[in-house]
Chains A and B, each alone.
Chain A
């Protein structure tokens, strides 16, 4: 299994995002705003075999670090993802994403009549109600959002 993933490509320096739920890799790329203009070389494995998940998606991005807010966003759609930092072909750091109990400035409230969607000096703030399936609640208007709504309303 490990072999199959590695077959995709080996990177010298960069980031590996592993254990993404099968089929969600493209969504993760869109969160990272990776598009045709991006200069890094990227390998994507979709529905590769994994011991832990049965199937999983993997993304390997050369010469790219992730910001904290990007990791938080990824955690919304891939709450069990692991992130490995690769330096000179070796993993130098590895951690699991951690969907925070309180999500601040990551998601915008989908309720158009919510006070946070005005020019008031606040950002979207949510409480995590459930990871699987994802459910978060706006700390202001108290509306709940599911994964589909949340990922459609990322800042």
Chain B
């Protein structure tokens, strides 16, 4: 169903396709565990263009393609090569089309991946566009919730942190709205969810903007924490005061339900104290590990 299609926004993936990705990601995980190598993408080439730095997303895309038996070509510093020479993204993509079967793009501007998809017939995967979308992250987040808690429906998800610029939050919220979930949004006032994101949610979707994490922590099944970037604050003292009131400690974890999890797209800085890592509720490293099987599933469905 995803065959030969670009994945730019979470809206490009229907619910049936999501289930199919989950099913195949499970298979991929099993084959990764068994240690046997796959040859599904033999002879296929993935080109990656990261105009913005990335560690996890890039490594997990490249690892996924290698695990499938395919190969990867990439521009070490896309920003310093084509972009700096003044080449448009449209031209870069038309050039890359001849060199690869699938193109992965991370860019600092919103809409970059959509634009790229208009200039090539090869499938484009959006690996993050500015504060826009990051659909493969969202799929792996949903996969993690399902795997950890058995189901996405019926869950209360509390999202904490930078809800304004955090692109993972915007895609995730739109995706959760497609399930029977309830969402609480907790953020400092200056980093609250933009109106344009709220306006994209269905009217009957249960979403509450709350000031105080404590007031919703006991009802939370999934605590999704995002990074509050220092750069967003002009005054370092303001950052310190904000981060203090939003950081997750063992005390926070103590008020959580028995069967609940803490997620984070990583890298985390001060938002989750290291002491929390030992709790079985700390799912963020397991979440990061899900990146490879989920991307393997998506690549193999697109190029299958």
Contact = CB atoms under 8 A, between A and B. Distances in A.
Interface in A120-155: 120-122, 135, 138-144
Interface string B81-121: 00000001110000000000000000111111011001000
Interface in A61-120: 109, 111, 113-116, 118-120
Interface string B188-217: 000000001001100000000000000000
Contact of A121 (B90, B109, B111, B199): B90
B110 A140 contact: yes
Interface in B111-165: 111-112, 114-115, 118, 129-133
B260 to A, nearest CB: 31
B9 interface: yes
A122 B118 contact: yes
A116 B115 CA distance: 8
A114 B110 contact: yes
A126 to B, nearest CB: 12
B199 A115 contact: no
B132 A142 contact: yes
Given A122-B115, A140-B114, A113 B131 contact: yes
Nearest to B86: A119
Interface in B1-32: 9
Nearest to A144: B196
Interface residues of A, number: 19
B110 A120 contact: no
A142 B174 CA distance: 12
Nearest to A139: B114
A113 B114 contact: no
Given A115-B89, A120-B88, A138 B200 contact: no
A87 B129 CA distance: 52
Contacts of A111: 110
B110 A142 contact: yes
Contact of A114 (B88, B109, B118, B133): B109
A115 B109 contact: yes
A119 B200 contact: no
A135 B200 CA distance: 11
Given A114-B109, A140-B115, 19 more contacts: A109-B111, A113-B131, A115-B114, A115-B129, A116-B115, A118-B88, A120-B90, A121-B88, A121-B90, A135-B199, A139-B114, A140-B114, A141-B110, A141-B114, A142-B111, A142-B133, A142-B200, A143-B110, A143-B196
18 contacts: A113-B108, A113-B109, A113-B131, A114-B109, A115-B89, A115-B111, A115-B112, A115-B115, A115-B129, A118-B88, A118-B109, A120-B88, A122-B115, A139-B114, A140-B111, A140-B114, A141-B110, A141-B132
Top 10 A-B residue pairs of the complex, sorted by shortest distance between their CB atoms: A140-B111, A141-B110, A141-B111, A115-B111, A115-B109, A115-B112, A140-B114, A144-B196, A115-B115, A120-B88
Interface of B: 9, 88-90, 107-112, 114-115, 118, 129-133, 196, 199-200
